[in-house]
Amino acid sequence: MFVKNYMTRNPVTISRKTSVFDALAIMKKNKIRQLPVVAEGKLEGLVTEKDLLTVSPSPATSLSIFELNGLLARLTVAEIMVKSPVTVGPDTTIEETALVLRENKFGSVPVVEGDRLVGIITVTDIFDALIEFFGYGKAGTRLLIEAPDRVGLLAEISRIVTDFGLLIKASIFAYKDNGNVEMMLRLATVDPVPVVAALKEKGYDVTYI
């Protein structure tokens, strides 16, 4: 799963000369919290709602509404944007991107090819990718299998499943500290009882949802 399959292409952008006032209005209109700053298609920086609100005067200020609007209209995003922001590429994997978002506590990250902005991917996009990967909402059954990790384990389990004429639609693995591997297999069946019985007969610890 790659970023290019889930990113938003042609995202809303602004220029260095965009005022803080206008940037806030654009965010509100489009219901977004980050805006890439571009020049002729090239990514120059990134500004977030938090950045904009940080430089906005406090509600307790003695300035009038006209003075406030004038101040925000004169201040441009070039003065507050993050230059050389963290980015990912179209061929970055979804799991790598999820790690970037988590480690940096981002809600989204620009997608660049060379120095040109080609999209933006958000936490919501990552969730959509995972939901699709797990086949949530589609007919099928998830098997949860725990076993000691060893060569040939997946092949053996796959043979048992395919002996029942079943397709494995998705799989994911988690390696545990005790040397076991926990597998989630999504099977294209609504009646997993026979294959579960066969797996248990081979000594596998199996549950299904």
Q: Which domain holds residue 178?
A: 135-208
Radius of gyration of the chain (CA): 25
Average pLDDT taken over every residue of the chain? 89
At 170 the pLDDT is 87
Helix, strand, coil proportions of the chain in percent (round to 5)?
Answer: 35, 30, 35
Residues 117 and 171 in one domain: no
| CATH classification at residue 169 | 3.30.70.260
Residues 44 and 124 in one domain: yes
pLDDT over 50 at 64, yes or no? no
| CATH classification at residue 87 | 3.10.580.10
pLDDT digits (tens, 9 = 90+) for 93-120: 999 999 999 999 999 999 999 989 999 9
As a whole number, mean pLDDT of residues 69-90 equals 86
Total structural domains in the chain?
A: 2
pLDDT over 90 at 158, yes or no? yes
The pTM assigned to this predicted structure is 0.77
At 89 the pLDDT is 98
As a whole number, mean pLDDT of residues 44-52 equals 93
